[in-house]
Every structure is written in C-alpha cells, then in structure tokens.
C-alpha cells in the first residue's frame, strides 16, 4: 500500500511540475491535492468593478479565493466573474465613463450674454402671458361678516385680503413669471370674492397688442 501511495505522490508531483500556464483555468481533481496532504484552493478569475485596496483597480482581472468572492466581493458588487458577457459589459462601460485619451477633462465654458433685443423679446413674451392668463385663487371668507350682510347680493369678504405681495407670489407659482410688487397697480388689497382686472405697470418699451390700451392681470377669487 505504501508503494501505491508513493507512486501516487510521485504522479501528483509530475503533474504539478509540468503544468503549463493555461492549466490554471482548468479544473483539478481535489483528490490529487489530498494525496499530497494539501488543501484544495482553486482560485477564481474575476473582474473588479470598483477599486479594491490591495487587490486592484476597476477593470482589472485578478484571481481571488472563491469564498472571498462569494462573501465579500459579490454581495458588495465589487467584482463579477470573468466571463465573456461581463468582460464585454465592463469594457463598454469604461469606454463611456473614461475620457478619450488626449481630450481635456474640463472644457472652458463660454458664457453668451443676452443682447438687449433678446431681453426685450423675453419681456414681451412674459407680458403677453400675464395679459392672456387668469389667476384663480381660493380663499377663506369671513364667516361672521357673511352672517350680518344686509343683503345676500352683497359680496362676501375675505378673511385675509389679497395684497400685492400675495398676488406676486401667486403669479410666480401659477404662471411662472417673476414680477415685482411695483408692477401691480393696486391701491388697496382685494378684500372680497369676485373677478378683477389689475392694471400692470410694465416698461413702455414693451409694445402693446393691437386694440389694447394697457396691460392687465385677470384675477378671480373664489371661496375655499
């Protein structure tokens, strides 16, 4: 039995001695290692998807123990098996993410200033949007004053009147146009439900539409 064991050990030594480089990727029967008193530790080839300390950088192909890949690299998506589909995917992603050789990472950004003509066109579009739109607001009424009205035809008063600042905020929220309180001609706040046309104070350089004498903002206040 001892002669067979010695012959077996000699055979394993011969196999390990004359293995070529391509033999690393082939499966080796663990019993060969067991006859030598060795632990069978076939390593896996994996492709790193991120930089791993003391192992390699993203895109590198490295060999690791199966348990290390299964318990550490794979759950954290730090590496994938070195097979054709993953190798092609990693290669394509690197082409997309990495800058082309010789190309600057950051290019100078040229800031183009708007001309006065372009700014006037923007103002005109904003003015037309304000003039054609209708601002619809829902507000609470003053219940106590509503009960003591002299007639049901009398308008219902609001609990909180609509001021210039409140209208400016609603214009920005509903119409996406920024105006200043000075652009609204509103001597007193809007205090009752109903429909209003609030005059707009816009620059005279903005041409009025044909048939209009001034810019206005239509406002409708409904009970909440």
CB atoms within 10 A of CB 20: 6
Distance in angstroms (rounded) separating the CA atoms of residues 82 and 193 = 72
Residue 16's pLDDT band, with cuts at 50, 70 and 90, is: very low
Name which residue leads in pLDDT, 120 or 90: 120
Would you call 205 helix, strand, or coil by DSSP? coil
- Taking each continuous run of H as one helix and of E as one strand, the counts in the chain are 7, 8
Residue 187's pLDDT band, with cuts at 50, 70 and 90, is: very high
Match 């097979």 to its residue by tokens. 83
Please tell me the predicted confidence (pLDDT) of residue 203: 83
The model's pLDDT over 118-163, given as tens digits with 9 standing for 90+, comes to 778 888 888 888 888 999 999 999 988 888 888 888 889 999 999 9
Distance in angstroms (rounded) separating the CA atoms of residues 101 and 107 = 14
Mean pLDDT of all residues belonging to the chain = 75
The model's pLDDT over 195-219, given as tens digits with 9 standing for 90+, comes to 999 999 888 888 888 878 888 999 9
Name which residue leads in pLDDT, 55 or 112: 55
The whole model's pTM is what? 0.46
Q: Which of 4-13, 109-118, 160-169 has the highest mean pLDDT?
A: 160-169
The domains found in the chain, sorted by start residue, are 42-95 (3.40.5.10), 115-221 (3.10.430.100)
Would you call 60 helix, strand, or coil by DSSP? coil
User: Of all residues in the chain, what percent carry a pLDDT higher than 90?
Assistant: 21
Please tell me the predicted confidence (pLDDT) of residue 17: 52
Of residues 66, 65, 14, the one with CA closest to residue 35: 14
pLDDT at position 6 over 70 = no
Name which residue leads in pLDDT, 83 or 51: 51
């Amino acid at each position: 039995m001892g002669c067979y064991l010695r012959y077996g050990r000699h055979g394993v030594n011969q196999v390990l001695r004359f293995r070529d480089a391509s033999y690393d990727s082939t499966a080796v029967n663990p019993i060969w290692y067991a006859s030598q008193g060795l632990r069978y530790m076939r390593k896996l080839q994996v492709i790193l998807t991120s930089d791993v300390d003391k192992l390699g950088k993203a895109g590198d192909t490295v060999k690791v123990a199966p348990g290390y890949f299964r318990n550490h690299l794979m759950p954290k998506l730090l590496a994938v098996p070195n097979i054709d589909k993953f190798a092609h995917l990693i290669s394509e992603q690197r082409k997309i993410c990495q800058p082309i050789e010789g190309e600057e990472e950051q290019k100078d950004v040229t800031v183009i200033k708007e001309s006065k003509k372009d700014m006037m066109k923007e103002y005109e579009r904003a003015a037309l949007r304000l003039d054609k739109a209708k601002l619809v607001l829902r507000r609470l009424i003053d219940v106590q004053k509503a009960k003591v009205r002299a007639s049901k035809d009398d308008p219902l008063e609001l609990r909180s009147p609509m001021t210039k600042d409140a209208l400016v905020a609603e214009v920005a929220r509903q119409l996406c146009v920024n105006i200043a309180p000075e652009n609204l001609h509103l001597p007193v706040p809007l205090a009752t439900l109903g429909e209003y046309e609030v005059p707009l104070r816009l620059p005279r350089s903005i041409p009025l539409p044909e048939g209009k004498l001034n810019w206005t903002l239509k406002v409708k206040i409904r009970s909440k």
